[in-house]
Structure 1
Amino acid sequence: MTRVYSKSWKLLAAAIGMCVMLSACGTSEASEPQEQLPVEQTAKEDAMITPDNFIDTLMKGSKEDIYKQISPELQGIISLDEFKTSVDSFMEGVTSWNKVTEVKLNHLVDRSWKDQMGTKGLQASFAEDHQIEGLLIQPLETHEATDKALTKTEFQFPLKGEWYVFWGGNDVLSNYHYAHETQRYALDIVRTQDDASYQGEGTDNENYYAFGEPLYAAADGRVVEVKNDIPDNTPGVMNAEEPAGNVVVIDHGNGEHSITAHLKKGSVAVKKGDNVQQGDLIGHLGNSGNSSEAHLHFQVSDGPDLFTSRSIQIRWADQSQSLTRGNSFQGLTN
């Protein structure tokens, strides 16, 4: 948090986290998925807060109505009076909001907005019954110099078929990694069907469409680090002791290293010292490390270590697709 904002609304940002965080990849901001509970019966039908009227209600309506729809777990963290004080302080100077992202996934609708100055951000996550499962307010920072500094290496996306960007973009509303210099331009990618990343109950890794999908080298290079023995997690249970899980790190020259994390245990197809060409098989997607479900964490850094090197904005061979939160895109075709 920056010092220019009031302490009172910082409490809200700290207390009410997004319930749809896919993975932490070693940061401390992750939250476990929350059980979806029914909306309080006291919420009147005509006062129902939805993703479409949330901003109008926040700006002109009743904060009590919003609070009624916050999940009981979150109400247990922050009182109504604290909620109103935090929101009022946060809203000082705000005249309008612009929608940044909308994600419909796994029975949740997540929207985010920026204020008219682009200095404050707001995210809200709604269950199917409109219960507010997550709410986050925070200042927004930009890093224009590094946003524009692309890798010298040209990369291809390391998966085949159609994929969905869960986290990606140049602000924390689109990409929670953006707050951390070491992972600022990292991507978290899942596979979806019918607005879901899994089928059935989602209790087994095999229920997830991404699990086991083959991974390929995104550019020519030399393998400088491999980890292949970390067990895959039960979905929803993360392994913070081994944040990256099974990982392949490739040195592409020019001080640029691709880091492919959360691979399936035992699936890594390369070893340290191997020279690989773009498109070579390197492993399969898994759910190892600080990951709540099967997905790809991919980034390029100026060194081989995920937590001490600086992330670099990726120059993609195909510039026609936007790899930002909420977008679907086509990976490798052959």
Structure 2
Amino acid sequence: MKKYWIEHLSLRGAIVITTFICILILTSCSSDGESNKEANAVTPQKEEMNNNLKHIGGEDIATTLLEGEYEQLYTQFSDPLKDIVKLEDFRSMGQAFVSDIDSFQLTSILRLNGYESIVWADQTGSKGLTATIDEKGTISGIQIIQHSSFPETDAAYSKTIFNFPFLGEWLVFWGGNNTFINYHYEYEQVRYAYDYVIEKNGYSYEGDRAINESYYAFNEDVAAPAEGVVVAAVDGISDNNPVGTVNEDQPAGNMVTIEHSNGEYSTIAHLKQGSVKVKIGDTVTAGQLIGKCGNSGNSTEPHIHFQVSGQAGEANMVTIPISYKDSIQPIRGDKVTGTSN
């Protein structure tokens, strides 16, 4: 059975977005190096001016942008971000972006590994703003974009009711119905997929972040999310070492796909090498151990990738929104708890 997978962004690096996306253009704005050097030069007068500008808290960024306080925001940009976009470009793009926006609504906050990623939507839900702030309040990334929307498929939830494919508390790293809270959403084959990590004290790891064993998710139990029959099971693919390297030739890594009674299929990917406990043809029950969380395939940090497909075939293996138990609809930044029943 052919599977379709889109490259996974680094779970750590994806938080630190150092591009400013221009309204409808999905490429970063740039300027020549000499112009950047000039723009970043700090004179005593500028330094004094910067010191007089108030510090903007993360959740106030949207309001500050709407009020046109571009210079205040720009003083908190990281140097790499200033290298990409100059103040005058930021101002002109921002003005165009907010010209028809009356208000922003906070959508999602994710705090992980020293960064805070905040997402807002405008009053229509058609435009989005996201900002990434480090522990010092520096704005490491900011994006403005018009959202793509797929309302028909957004409402086509699975008939099967699924448990989470794990036990205990996990953090939704990617999940939801727009690209700011779920980067999968742009791609039909994985549009409604979820990525889950374990977070403790604001971090997904402790110690050397190049080692898989440093990550709380690594080697944690992965469970069948619903009753069904195993139709695909892959094991034996090495976990990426060091963390941050990827295996693009075997993007799903070690994985299990289960066929459910409604003609729907669930897939759990990036399992630990040697941990898969089931084989093709096995009948599994909800909550049954099927493997361990790993870092195999096109994955840059130990995590669980979970998706549900409505059909199986060579050309139409596309995801559908997942009906979770108790009607839960988690999005990026939410914490959820998996149970065995």
**In the alignment, which of 281, 287, 291 is matched to residue 283 of structure 1?**
291
Kindly tell me: are residues 305 and 264 of structure 1, through their superposed partners in 2, closer, same or farther at Cα, counting changes over 3 Å?
farther
Identity within the alignment, %: 40
CA separation in 1, counterparts of 2:101 and 2:314? 37
Cα pair 1:322 1:329 within 8 Å, conserved: no
CA separation in 2, counterparts of 1:300 and 1:108? 30
Kindly tell me: are residues 60 and 126 of structure 1, through their superposed partners in 2, closer, same or farther at Cα, counting changes over 3 Å?
same
What's the counterpart of residue 67 of structure 1? 74
CA separation in 2, counterparts of 1:84 and 1:235? 38
CA separation in 1, counterparts of 2:192 and 2:139? 29
Q: Which amino acid aligns with 1:113?
A: W
State which drifts further: 244-253 or 94-103: 244-253
Structure 1 gap segments, 5+ residues each = 1-6, 17-39
What's the counterpart of residue 23 of structure 2? 9
What's the counterpart of residue 322 of structure 2? 314
User: Paired residues, what number?
Assistant: 303
Cα pair 1:164 1:190 within 8 Å, conserved: yes
Does residue 212 of structure 1 match 2:219? yes
1:166-315 map, 5 Å? 166-233=173-240, 234-304=242-312, 308-315=316-323
Displacement of 1:262 in angstroms is: 0.9
CA separation in 2, counterparts of 1:68 and 1:239? 39
Kindly tell me: are residues 180 and 203 of structure 1, through their superposed partners in 2, closer, same or farther at Cα, counting changes over 3 Å?
same
CA separation in 1, counterparts of 2:277 and 2:253? 15
What's the counterpart of residue 102 of structure 1? 109
CA separation in 1, counterparts of 2:197 and 2:287? 20
Q: Which amino acid aligns with 2:273?
A: K
Displacement of 1:58 in angstroms is: 1.1
Kindly tell me: are residues 126 and 67 of structure 1, through their superposed partners in 2, closer, same or farther at Cα, counting changes over 3 Å?
same
**In the alignment, which of 113, 117, 130 is matched to residue 123 of structure 1?**
130
Q: TM-score, normalised by structure 2?
A: 0.81
RMSD: 2.5
Kindly tell me: are residues 272 and 113 of structure 1, through their superposed partners in 2, closer, same or farther at Cα, counting changes over 3 Å?
same
Kindly tell me: are residues 64 and 305 of structure 1, through their superposed partners in 2, closer, same or farther at Cα, counting changes over 3 Å?
farther
Cα pair 1:259 1:306 within 8 Å, conserved: no
CA separation in 2, counterparts of 1:81 and 1:268? 54
Q: Encode CA deviations 1:132-183: one digit per residue, 9 max, x unaligned.
A: 1222211123322222222222222221111111112222232222222211
Q: Which amino acid aligns with 2:215?
A: Y
Does residue 55 of structure 1 match 2:62? yes
Residue aligned with 2:306, SS: strand
Q: TM-score, normalised by structure 1?
A: 0.82
- Which structure has the larger Rg? 2
CA separation in 1, counterparts of 2:304 and 2:225? 13
Q: Which runs of 4+ in 1 moved over 4 A?
A: 40-43, 304-308
Structure 2 gap segments, 5+ residues each = 1-20, 30-41
Displacement of 1:297 in angstroms is: 0.7
Q: Which amino acid aligns with 1:243?
A: P
Displacement of 1:213 in angstroms is: 0.6
What's the counterpart of residue 9 of structure 2? none
Determine which structure has the larger helix proportion and give its number: 2
